[in-house]
């Protein structure tokens, strides 16, 4: 029972490719190479308090069940619209998360962006550790991935693209994307052995999803629901797809360690008469047109799986069933925390938690967030300061009206020109002075953070006017720009010398 919709089929904005199945990079070579870099970075992370991450330039805030992470200085995410941006941004985000939460016992870290990566309309699951045998990992990822070290509970992370992408109606409001990428922790990688050796034809694209010829009754990990027409043909039964029913098949639940072998009935695989590329992946997306193929069928059992992979260890009697999931909400350097978006995400987490219970038939649960008391960000309505200043004149701006809902002490960082890529946040006081050297419009910002790392950023637009020569020790050139002080001094000295010669 699988849904033939991989993690990236979009029928709505933002525009996506017609066949978006290929955008699930969970087991691509690029992601596998990235895994090794990320494992090394995570294990070598230097613990630090919530706030600014010294190694990544990320600011880290725990707000409710969400860890909000903003790329404050290093531009890790760049534009956020390329695959390299995904890798650099997620690598720094996961590193910063474990630096700020060195004692985290999260099984998974989920990264959701504030923006949609329109150049890469996809998502992926990246395995970091694996303590389970018998589920086919040796066929898809390097053997050294196996790790039963209980001191590193993290199993992997999910990159789910942007929030608006995740909740598209095309993905059943996120159910498809969430179900498939989380399901990649355990499947689909297995071979079968019916007595003639290893056989991987139960697998489809990337050898990480079920074949469209496997009757899975619309599993999140793909497959199909085939009806035997009793004339040598089979038709995909799209009418049986129900968005509110479980979308993990009994075989999926076995691989996830939730049921034993006795709970896995036999399942059917079609052997199509036409094996050409055109027929290799019959189109049977739920809600689409039914597909009919000419084929024979064979019946497979869980013992065919065990013969190929060995028994699952640990078994369903000892496997983990309650998972802790950290949610990282990623912001680029100039993005701002939107309270309404965090509220939407919190509500979505409740839906995903219930979905997990439904999908696993009540055998498993998921808890979101990090340990600790929910922390609300500081409150600041506006920066107190003039909106028109003169170049060369020191001007004060004040954020002292900021308060913290929990009464925590506050720290302040100021940024004096948001349009300048070399302008970064610099630590300061609640009231901070600054001298602008050039005229023109400016947008300044203050970042106010509490002791728990929660951050609020407030901006102020100002107009810097040309400076006064008598007050700033500078002269105006023909363009209206202030000349350097050294040039003004030389001109003044020359005028005095000429005056003396005339005497």
**Greater model confidence, 113 or 212:** 113
Q: Residue 210: which pLDDT band, with cuts at 50, 70 and 90?
A: very high
User: Strand pairing partners for 413?
Assistant: 427, 447
Task: Give the N- to C-terminal CA distance of the chain in Å, as an integer.
Answer: 104
- What would the mean pLDDT of 150-161 be, rounded to a whole number? 79
**Greater model confidence, 40 or 237:** 237
132 and 277 assigned to the same domain: yes
Does residue 150 surpass a pLDDT of 50? yes
Domain boundary among 307, 339, 368: 368
319 and 211 assigned to the same domain: yes
Distance CA(444)–CA(412), nearest Å, equals 13
The reported pLDDT for the residue numbered 246 is 67
Domain boundary among 312, 340, 368: 368
- What would the mean pLDDT of 312-322 be, rounded to a whole number? 94
Cis, bond preceding 404 (omega within 30 deg of 0): no
- What would the mean pLDDT of 171-194 be, rounded to a whole number? 91
Considering the chain, what percentage of its residues have pLDDT values greater than 90?
42
- What would the mean pLDDT of 65-89 be, rounded to a whole number? 84
Task: Give the range of the structural domain holding residue 213, as residue numbers without chain letter.
Answer: 20-368
Distance CA(381)–CA(76), nearest Å, equals 29
The reported pLDDT for the residue numbered 494 is 36
129 and 185 assigned to the same domain: yes
The reported pLDDT for the residue numbered 497 is 44
Classify residue 234: in a domain, yes or no: yes
The reported pLDDT for the residue numbered 119 is 79
The reported pLDDT for the residue numbered 372 is 60
**Placement of tokens 């059992």 in the chain:** 301
**Greater model confidence, 385 or 6:** 385
Classify residue 1: in a domain, yes or no: no
Classify residue 382: in a domain, yes or no: no
Domain count, the chain: 2
83 and 181 assigned to the same domain: yes
Neighbour count for residue 122 (Cβ, 10 Å): 27
The reported pLDDT for the residue numbered 44 is 55
Q: Residue 474: which pLDDT band, with cuts at 50, 70 and 90?
A: very low
Q: 224 in helix, strand or coil?
A: strand
* Lowest mean pLDDT segment, chosen from 180-194, 214-228, 463-477: 463-477
Neighbour count for residue 144 (Cβ, 10 Å): 8
445 and 417 assigned to the same domain: yes
Domain boundary among 368, 402, 430: 368
**44 phi, psi to nearest 5 deg:** -100, 10
Q: Residue 485: which pLDDT band, with cuts at 50, 70 and 90?
A: very low
* Lowest mean pLDDT segment, chosen from 15-29, 42-56, 422-436: 15-29
CATH number at residue 452: 2.60.40.10
395 and 364 assigned to the same domain: no
Q: 155 in helix, strand or coil?
A: coil
Q: Residue 45: which pLDDT band, with cuts at 50, 70 and 90?
A: low
Q: Which among 289, 291, 299 has a CA at the least distance from the CA of 274?
A: 291
Cis, bond preceding 370 (omega within 30 deg of 0): no
The reported pLDDT for the residue numbered 73 is 75
279 and 329 assigned to the same domain: yes
- What would the mean pLDDT of 173-183 be, rounded to a whole number? 90
285 and 429 assigned to the same domain: no
Q: Residue 386: which pLDDT band, with cuts at 50, 70 and 90?
A: very high
Looking at 128-218, which runs of residues are DSSP E strands? 156-162
471 and 341 assigned to the same domain: no
Neighbour count for residue 352 (Cβ, 10 Å): 21
The reported pLDDT for the residue numbered 258 is 97
The reported pLDDT for the residue numbered 445 is 92
- What would the mean pLDDT of 329-338 be, rounded to a whole number? 86
- What would the mean pLDDT of 353-376 be, rounded to a whole number? 86
**Greater model confidence, 437 or 73:** 437
Distance CA(200)–CA(197), nearest Å, equals 10
422 and 336 assigned to the same domain: no
Q: 16 in helix, strand or coil?
A: coil
User: Strand pairing partners for 293?
Assistant: 234
Classify residue 24: in a domain, yes or no: yes
The reported pLDDT for the residue numbered 102 is 79
Distance CA(204)–CA(2), nearest Å, equals 12
Classify residue 502: in a domain, yes or no: no
The reported pLDDT for the residue numbered 152 is 60
Q: Residue 375: which pLDDT band, with cuts at 50, 70 and 90?
A: confident
- What would the mean pLDDT of 218-226 be, rounded to a whole number? 90
The reported pLDDT for the residue numbered 327 is 96
363 and 443 assigned to the same domain: no
Classify residue 302: in a domain, yes or no: yes
User: Strand pairing partners for 270?
Assistant: 297
Hey, which of 117-121, 138-142, 284-288 has the most confident mean pLDDT?
117-121
> Average model confidence (pLDDT) for the chain?
79
357 and 392 assigned to the same domain: no
The H-or-E segment that residue 499 falls in is helix 485-502
- What would the mean pLDDT of 38-60 be, rounded to a whole number? 63
Hey, which of 150-154, 239-243, 306-310 has the most confident mean pLDDT?
306-310
Classify residue 304: in a domain, yes or no: yes
Classify residue 479: in a domain, yes or no: yes
Does residue 48 surpass a pLDDT of 60? no
Distance CA(326)–CA(478), nearest Å, equals 58
The reported pLDDT for the residue numbered 423 is 83
Per residue in 113-139, pLDDT (tens digit) is 999 988 777 888 888 888 889 999 887
The reported pLDDT for the residue numbered 142 is 55
Q: Is 180:167 a contact under the CB 8 Å cutoff?
A: no
The reported pLDDT for the residue numbered 87 is 84
- What would the mean pLDDT of 431-453 be, rounded to a whole number? 90
The reported pLDDT for the residue numbered 174 is 87
The reported pLDDT for the residue numbered 335 is 84
């Amino acid at each position: 029972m699988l849904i033939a919709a991989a993690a990236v089929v979009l029928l709505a904005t933002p525009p996506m490719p017609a066949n978006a199945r290929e955008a699930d990079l969970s087991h691509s070579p690029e992601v596998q190479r990235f895994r090794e870099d990320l494992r090394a970075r995570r294990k070598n992370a230097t613990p630090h308090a919530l706030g600014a991450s010294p190694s990544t330039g990320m600011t880290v805030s725990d707000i409710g069940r969400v860890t909000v992470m903003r790329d404050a200085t290093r531009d890790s995410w760049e534009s956020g619209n390329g695959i390299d941006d995904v890798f650099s941004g997620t690598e720094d985000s996961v590193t910063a998360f474990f630096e700020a939460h060195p004692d985290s016992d999260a099984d998974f870290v989920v990264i959701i962006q504030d923006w949609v990566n329109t150049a890469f309309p996809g998502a992926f699951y990246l395995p970091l550790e694996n303590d389970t045998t018998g589920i086919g990992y040796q066929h898809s990822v390097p053997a050294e991935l196996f790790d039963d070290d209980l001191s590193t509970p993290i199993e992997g992370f999910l990159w789910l693209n942007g929030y608006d992408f995740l909740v598209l109606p095309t993905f059943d409001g996120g159910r498809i994307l969430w179900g498939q990428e989380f399901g990649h922790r355990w499947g689909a990688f297995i071979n079968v052995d019916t007595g003639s050796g290893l056989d991987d034809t139960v697998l489809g694209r990337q050898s990480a999803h079920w074949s469209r010829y496997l009757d899975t009754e619309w599993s999140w990990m793909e497959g199909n629901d085939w009806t035997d027409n009793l004339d040598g043909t089979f038709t995909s039964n799209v009418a049986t797809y129900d968005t509110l029913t479980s979308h993990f098949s009994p075989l999926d639940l076995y691989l996830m360690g939730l049921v034993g072998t006795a709970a896995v009935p036999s399942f059917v695989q079609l052997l199509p008469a036409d094996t050409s590329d055109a027929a290799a992946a019959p189109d049977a997306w739920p809600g689409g047109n039914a597909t009919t193929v000419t084929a024979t069928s064979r019946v497979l059992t869980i013992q065919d799986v065990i013969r190929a992979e060995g028994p699952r260890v640990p078994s369903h009697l000892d496997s983990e069933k309650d998972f802790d999931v950290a949610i990282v909400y990623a912001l680029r350097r100039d993005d701002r925390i939107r309270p309404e978006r965090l509220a939407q995400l919190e509500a979505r987490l409740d839906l995903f938690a219930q979905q997990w219970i439904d999908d696993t038939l009540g055998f498993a649960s998921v808890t979101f967030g990090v340990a600790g008391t929910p922390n609300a960000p500081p409150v600041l309505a506006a920066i107190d300061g003039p909106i028109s200043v003169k170049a060369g004149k020191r001007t004060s701006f004040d954020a002292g009206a900021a308060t913290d809902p929990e009464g925590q002490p506050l720290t302040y960082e100021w940024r004096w020109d948001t349009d300048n890529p070399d302008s970064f946040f610099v630590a300061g006081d609640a009231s901070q002075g600054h001298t602008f050297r050039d005229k023109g419009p400016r947008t300044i910002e203050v970042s106010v953070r509490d002791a728990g790392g929660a951050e609020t950023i407030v901006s102020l637009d100002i107009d810097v006017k040309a400076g006064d020569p008598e007050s700033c020790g500078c002269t105006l050139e023909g363009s209206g720009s202030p000349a350097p002080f050294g040039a003004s001094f030389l001109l003044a000295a020359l005028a005095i010398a000429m005056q003396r010669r005339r005497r």
